[in-house]
Structure 1
Amino acid sequence: MSNYAKVIIKGSPITKSNFKLHNLNGRAILPHSSGKYHDRYALYEQEIALLARNQNPDVVFSESLIALLRVYYKSEKRHPDTINITKSIFDGIEKSGLIINDAQITKIFTEEYYDKENPRFELELFAESEYDFSYKVIKRTTSLKPKLYSPIRKNILSDKTSSSATDYQKDKLDCNAENKRDKKSKKNSSNSLMSSEMIICNICNKAIISDDYVKADSGKTLICKRCFNKLF
């Protein structure tokens, strides 16, 4: 019985956390031959599955595991959230047959690094019956320059006096009310325009008759039933 395995997959890791496509039974699926951008999610899982099995040809884990994951991104500024990257990786590892189910991962430690020349991820799996995992946090002897993250929206009220803050809140409420009216008007006009315009399938680029189609990717992708049935 194996108690250790290591998988190295070259290339920038991707995450599928924001993509959702379901079949007629409501089950999530990943198309891989539609010719569209979202095919890359399924292809990435297939790549992980193939290479993980080739790198560990005789290994099959059936017990609980400890996982150490090191992700090396190409860019420090633009990359997926590391907290979401594990789903794509372990779905591929499960498809490889290296593990039976990703629920076997009971302990996981993830580290984020940057390597412009060789982006990749390195995953080590340890059988929990043979290995234990521990860590510690220690104070640096020399402080590093902090890596700062800015919020999406800044709190403008914190820099105002109480009176000006009240005025600001009132103006904001008026502005929100006006924006809601504008959005409602645009939505109504958009619905009327949609009803008069022809809906096109994003895969075969043919007109879709009535409501014979499936929505995906938060409504951004429309697929006719004929193309949808060919995906699986």
Structure 2
Amino acid sequence: MNKSYAKIIVKGSPITKSNFKLFNIKGRAILPYNSGKYHDRYALYEEQIAYECRSQNPGVIISESLIAVLKVYYKSKKRHPDTSNITKSIFDGIEKSGLIINDAQIRKIITEEFYDKNNPRFELELFGESHYNLKYSICENDFIEEKINYSPPPNRKKIYKNSIKIQNPKENTSVPKCQICGKSLQHDEIISANKGKTLICKNCFNKLFK
């Protein structure tokens, strides 16, 4: 058996650790696993990843540096976690399984995002660098494909709209103002607070910390 290669497929919508953290009275982040509540979901998902790793790669332990190719399949093109946060969550489960020694072994990683409404999952391949190397290229498409456009997160929509007004004054002459001193804000001066609900200027922002 090649001990420099492993493949893991875990069915179900991938989730991230950040959505399931709770904080104790000292402000320290914790991940509950037996509270009987929704927040247990991540710990159970991590256990599922570890179980699938061992089931699909019995007896394999990889201790060398690795190249990782991760393909994440979401149900929806727009409503899903940040793929950049998915990798850490997945490798925590992989490390927990004992398939690898430490997630620091991952020296190179390619992450691809796909969509499969009926079969969300992730597929991960690990390649030991003693046997494999990575080559890649980026080239133009033969045909222009349909764009997948994204909207700002809910707590950033207000500042995003105000920025558009400043960039396109002919379309909308409404210029946002600092909600503390009343000063008109230029594009490079906007600072949002209160989860994007409040706009303030840099001067007022700095005064808050004096």
TM range (shorter): 0.7 to 0.9
Q: Which has the higher contact order (CA 8 A, sep 6+)?
A: 1
Structure 2 vs 1, CA of residues 25 and 133 (structure 1 numbering), >3 Å: closer, same or farther? Answer: farther
Task: Tell me how far apart the structure 1 counterparts of residues 130 and 72 of structure 2 sit (CA, whole Å).
Answer: 26
Contact 2:14/2:72, CA 8 A, preserved across alignment: yes
SS at match of 1:95: helix
Corresponding letter in the other structure for 1:80: P
5+ unaligned residues in a row in structure 2: which ranges?
183-193, 195-210
Find 2:175's aligned residue among 168, 190, 195: 168
In the alignment, which residue of structure 2 is the partner of 1:192? Answer: none
* TM-score, L = length of structure 1: 0.68
In the alignment, which residue of structure 2 is the partner of 1:212? Answer: none
Q: Deviations over 1:164-217 (max 9, x none)?
A: 96x835xx22xx1299xxx9xxxxxxxxxxxxxxxxxxxxxxxxxxxxxxxxxx
Q: Relative to structure 2, which stretch is displaced further, 147-156 or 136-145?
A: 147-156
Contact 2:8/2:124, CA 8 A, preserved across alignment: yes
Task: Tell me how far apart the structure 2 counterparts of residues 51 and 156 of structure 1 sit (CA, whole Å).
Answer: 50
Asked if residue 177 in structure 1 is aligned to residue 184 in structure 2, the reply is no
Structure 2 vs 1, CA of residues 96 and 23 (structure 1 numbering), >3 Å: closer, same or farther? Answer: farther
Matches for 1:14-163 after TM superposition, within 5 Å: 14-21=15-22, 28-151=29-152, 152=157, 153-154=160-161, 155-160=164-169
- Compare CA radii of gyration and give the structure with the larger one: 1
Task: Tell me how far apart the structure 2 counterparts of residues 100 and 23 of structure 1 sit (CA, whole Å).
Answer: 29
5+ unaligned residues in a row in structure 1: which ranges?
184-232
* TM-score, L = length of structure 2: 0.74
SS at match of 1:32: coil
SS at match of 2:38: coil
- Identity of aligned pairs, percent? 62
Structure 2 vs 1, CA of residues 91 and 149 (structure 1 numbering), >3 Å: closer, same or farther? Answer: same
Kindly indicate which of the two structures has a greater share of residues assigned to helix.
Answer: 1
Shift in Å, 1:19: 4.2
Shift in Å, 1:76: 1.2
Structure 2 vs 1, CA of residues 177 and 24 (structure 1 numbering), >3 Å: closer, same or farther? Answer: closer
Q: Deviations over 1:5-42 (max 9, x none)?
A: 00000000000124444668987532111011111011
SS at match of 1:122: strand
Task: Tell me how far apart the structure 2 counterparts of residues 29 and 54 of structure 1 sit (CA, whole Å).
Answer: 28
Task: Tell me how far apart the structure 1 counterparts of residues 96 and 150 of structure 2 sit (CA, whole Å).
Answer: 36
Corresponding letter in the other structure for 1:117: N
Structure 2 vs 1, CA of residues 26 and 127 (structure 1 numbering), >3 Å: closer, same or farther? Answer: farther
RMSD: 2.5
